[in-house]
Copies of this chain bind each other. A is one copy, B any other.
Amino acid sequence: MKTLIVYAHPEPKSLNGSLKDLAVSTLESVGHEVRVSDLYAMNWKAVVDAADYGPDASSPLKVPLDSGRAFDAGTLTPDVLAEQRKLLWADTVIFQFPLWWYTMPAILKGWVDRVFTYRFAYGVGEHSDTKYGERFGEGTLAGRKALLSVTVGGPESHYSARGINGPIEDLLFPIHHGILYYPGIEALPPFVLYSVDRMTVEDYADVAKAWEQRLLTLESTEPIPFRPQNFGDYEIPSLHLKEGLEPTGRAGFGLHLRR
């Protein structure tokens, strides 16, 4: 297994830092190759702007077109090119981050915004009245798997089916489906730790054991069964799910699960 860990926490001595370190040592101990993008340590530029496209930036700036032109010309900035190469190298990607305001920290969103350029992660394949790209199950990163490892301050009940924050699987859907599955990456069920603000040293021993267990079984873990876009489940060009495909009563994001 070739694993890229994209890690987004400002404090190396945090729980997130420990989980990242444990992932590296656990995977390497059984012979896997691991690379880490430590976004804070890299001083990752979080913000898309014209400097990302250098001489390929048009005026006025057009983010999709300009990023696609720079991608095709090989003139994206070295930091972005390096991350794209790491994604192409990897067969597995782990994202390690705290849930801040119900989604990823800005530095990690900025990694997505800048690395997932047009022609690399979107705008791939034919776009016409009969086909809307190779995406959701197809695309540049098809054949890869990803796992979100997320720490959450609040208790699990607040993120359950009836919990006030909404179900964690729905909160993570825009990442699992919208960011990962879109360019072809299969999302594995996430590793989520709750109530981390109250975690003790004793708790951490159990957490570490559970995390190691997840890491050592990644290759046999079934991904979340999202429906691929181009294999008959959706109307073209509306991309509505065809009537009758979903179990009775299922709605919202859950429609896009195969079973």
Task: List the interface of chain A (C-beta within 8 A of B).
Answer: 10-14, 40, 46-50, 60-64, 98, 100-107, 109-110, 112-113, 116, 136, 153, 155, 157-158, 160-167, 170-171, 173-174, 177-179, 197, 229, 234, 237-241, 249, 251-256
Contact = CB atoms under 8 A, between A and B. Distances in A.
Ranked nearest first, the 8 interchain pairs of A and B with the lowest CB-CB distance are A106-B110, A102-B178, A13-B60, A157-B238, A102-B174, A11-B61, A106-B109, A162-B240
A106 B108 CA distance: 8
A110 B166 contact: no
Contacts of A239: 157-158, 163-165
Q: How many copies does the complex hold?
A: 2
Contacts of A136: 164
A215 B251 CA distance: 32
Given A48-B105, A64-B153, A164-B234, 20 more contacts: A12-B60, A40-B47, A47-B105, A64-B197, A100-B113, A102-B174, A103-B103, A103-B109, A104-B109, A105-B109, A136-B164, A162-B255, A163-B239, A164-B240, A166-B177, A171-B174, A249-B249, A251-B254, A252-B252, A252-B253
A204 to B, nearest CB: 14
Nearest to A241: B162
Given A11-B60, A13-B60, A101-B178, A106 B46 contact: yes
19 contacts: A10-B48, A11-B60, A12-B60, A14-B61, A46-B47, A48-B106, A100-B113, A102-B174, A106-B109, A106-B113, A110-B110, A158-B238, A162-B255, A164-B240, A164-B241, A164-B256, A166-B252, A170-B170, A252-B254
